[in-house]
Amino acid sequence: MHSMFNERLWLAWLVKARIIILTFLLGIELAIARLTLSPLPVRLFITSILLWYAFALFYVVLLSFWEEHRIQSLLQVLTDLALVTLVVYITGGVDSSLNFLYPLIIIVSSILLPRSWSYLTAALAFILYGTVLELTYFGIVPSYSTTHPELAALQAIIFVNLFAYLAVAYLAGLLAAKLRQVDVKLKHTRGALQNLQAVHENIIQSISGGLITTGLDGHITLVNTAGQKLLEHSEDDLLGQPVHRLFLDPLPQVGSERIHAEVRFVTANSFRKTFRVMVSTLTVPERETLGYVYTFDDLTEIRRLERDLRMQDRLAAVGRLAAAIAHEIRNPLTSIAGSVSMLSAITDLSKEHRQLLSIVTRESERLNGIITDFLAYSRGKQYQFSRVDLVPLLEDTLTLLEHRLLAEKSGIRIERHYAVREAWTLADGDKIKQVFWNFSENAIRAMRNGGTLSVSVEAAGDDWQINFADTGSGMNPQTIEKIFEPLQSEFEGGTGLGLAIVYQIVQAHEGKVWARSKPGQGSVFVLRLRCMTAGSASKTAGSGAISLGHSGSSRSTAAAVAMGERAHG
């Protein structure tokens, strides 16, 4: 246990205490010498005190670089004994009031050194003090005392001090031993407490779910690492904030039937997450409630997959219905179109009749176009996957679009923001062009009074991200929720199948697609496709026509593919 005793700390304390005592003694003795008739040799006394100061400063420097604390303690005790003896002699020997310094040194020795040294220090103090008194009594050295006791009285003073020094050594040794024991126990207890606290902190920081603790006022006092990642904020940003302000929905309350709930949270980049939150009281045994504990986990991905699977079911049902209806309608529609064509050949039709026939013909063609889109949407598709660069495909689409917009004088301009020169991926180039064209067409239709279509290509982790941003009227959350479902067109004359077909194509490419929009602030359609890797090159060599059914991919693929902004909130 003694090895754990902090000797350096006590040595540092001793150095400071020595300087304070020396300053105090110097001031007191000089005041006495000035105010009374004292035989004190002032110059010799000041010289001895300055010598003591010099040793004190030397030990300060020595402590800073010498690690042998036990030897330093011994040197300081012996030095102090010698200098105390010198000061006692100068201040009058038997008349000196400074012999109380010997017990102080004995106490310091019992603290810094083993217990036997406290008795040795007491013996040395007795020998030195007795020597000074004997030498001055017999006139061997000059005496500065004002009294001259008899030899018997002198011997009595010496032996009284001996018993006093031994008593101080004994009591100081006991107290020092107790002090060491308490210090060691305190260190053990502190270490155990720190280990326990570290275990608790590691448990809190290691759990995968988010955890927030608050006071009774609802202000956050702790957020674990998982909670910081889920909320996408640092602990410094969250501490002290009211917990209810973090979420869009009310939190569950302790003592009510609603102790858990699903709440929404908006991240710094405006994406919306869904959390399941549970609340409980933060209590300590034998104390009242200190606050509340909120545990939460992220349900965003689960809710996305649920919505995606529901959409897959709806798309499959609509596709089957579309195929059946389209086949049933196309035959009579062909007969109607043929009959109208024959009626148009009659020469004596009036202008009004011809106008009516023209309307029938035009509407028949429009209906035929709708049926063609239905059949394109519902029937199996052939994909020719190969290694393609998305940048030229996008540039071809935008170039054709620019010429058309210029001819139509639409007042719409196209801005390109390419963060990369090449964007290689494994895809069917024609189908990807169809995706680009559909996005561009929707953007142009949204900007009836002109505007800007901004198209960007950038890397996003292991994917390429292509953004189509318009400055149109935007969409409300209800529209965004169903934007990729069939028959959801917001434009006059649209079939509502363009983005549904886009969704199928992106699914087949195992990509992702979603929309972001706010009313009056335009819309952004985001497409993500996998970056081409070295391991994919072998796949392109053997790639050929791949036929996909109506759904475009299996259920397992649907869980990892395109997700609309509704999934992001």
Residue 251 belongs to domain with CATH number: 3.30.450.20
CATH number of 331's domain: 1.10.287
What pLDDT was estimated at residue 31? 78
Indicate if 521 and 482 belong to the same structural domain.
yes
The residue out of 342, 357, 378 marking a domain boundary is 378
Q: Which is higher by pLDDT, 341 or 450?
A: 450
Residue 450 pLDDT greater than 70, yes or no: yes
- Residue 140 in domain: yes
Please indicate, yes or no, whether residues 393 and 502 belong to a single structural domain of this protein. Answer: yes
Helices 69-90, 7-35: crossing angle, 10 deg rounding: 10
- pLDDT score of 18: 78
**Among the ranges given (2-16, 65-79, 515-529), the one the predictor scored with the smallest mean pLDDT:** 2-16
Confidence of residue 387 (pLDDT cuts 50, 70, 90): very high
Count of domains in the chain?
4
**512 and 489 in a common domain:** yes
pLDDT at residue 155 greater than cutoff 60:
yes
Q: Closest Cα partner for 531 from 385, 388, 382?
A: 388
Does 287 share its domain with 419?
no
SS3 call for 542: coil
pLDDT score of 324 more than 60? yes
Please give the residue that has the higher pLDDT: either 227 or 560: 227
The domain that holds 420 is classified in CATH as 3.30.565.10
pLDDT of residue 345: 73
280 and 161, same structural domain?
no
Give the model's pLDDT for residue 464.
Answer: 92
60-91 pLDDT per residue, tens? 788 778 777 778 888 888 888 888 888 888 88
Q: Do 500 and 385 share a domain, yes or no?
A: yes
> Could you read off the pLDDT of 416-434 as tens digits, one per residue?
999 999 999 999 988 899 8
Angle, to 10 degrees, between the axis of helix 42-65 and the axis of helix 69-90? Answer: 180
Query: Which of 335-339, 362-366, 463-467, 521-525 has the largest mean confidence?
Result: 463-467
For 364, the domain range is: 304-378
Is the confidence at residue 335, as pLDDT, over 80? no
Task: Judge whether 152 lies within some domain.
Answer: yes
Measured in whole angstroms, how far is the alpha carbon of residue 451 from the centre of its chain?
41
Please tell me the predicted confidence (pLDDT) of residue 557.
35
Question: Do 136 and 219 belong together in one domain?
Answer: no
Q: What's the pLDDT score for residue 569?
A: 34
pLDDT (0 to 100) of residue 378: 61
> Residue 32, SS3?
helix
| pTM for this predicted structure | 0.44
Among 189-193, 222-226, 443-447, 485-489, the least confident range: 485-489
According to the model, what pLDDT value does residue 467 have? 93
Q: Is 259 domain-assigned?
A: yes
Instruction: Answer whether residue 204 is part of any domain.
Output: no
Does residue 132 fall inside a structural domain?
yes
Report, as an integer, the average pLDDT of 380-392. 84
Strands 412-418 and 451-460: parallel
Say yes or no: 285 and 332 in one domain: no
The model's pLDDT over 170-212, given as tens digits with 9 standing for 90+, comes to: 888 888 778 777 877 887 777 777 776 666 777 777 788 888 8
How does 523-540 read in b/e, with b if 16+ C-beta sit within 10 Å? bbbbbbbbbbeeebeeee
* Same domain, residue pair 484 and 370: no
Query: If you ran DSSP here, which 8-state letter would residue 149 be given?
Result: -
- Cα(128)–Cα(99) distance, rounded to whole angstroms? 11
CA distances from 44 to 41, 86, 140, 293 (A): 5, 10, 18, 72
Tell whether 195 is covered by a domain: no
User: Which residue among 248, 279, 298 closes a domain?
Assistant: 298
Whether residue 111 is found in the same domain as residue 96:
yes
Residue 385 pLDDT > 50: yes
- Are 437 and 457 found together in one domain? yes
In a domain, 403, yes or no: yes
User: What does the pLDDT read at residue 4?
Assistant: 40
What pLDDT is stored for residue 376 in this prediction?
Answer: 64
Query: Is 428 a member of any domain?
Result: yes
Read off the tokens for 431: 């189908």
Among 29-38, 255-264, 392-401, 437-446, the range scoring the smallest mean pLDDT is 29-38
Residues 373 and 459 in one domain: no
* Half-sphere CA count of 554, side-chain side, radius 13 A: 2
pLDDT attached to residue 482: 75
Task: Select from 344, 378, 412 the last residue of a domain.
Answer: 378
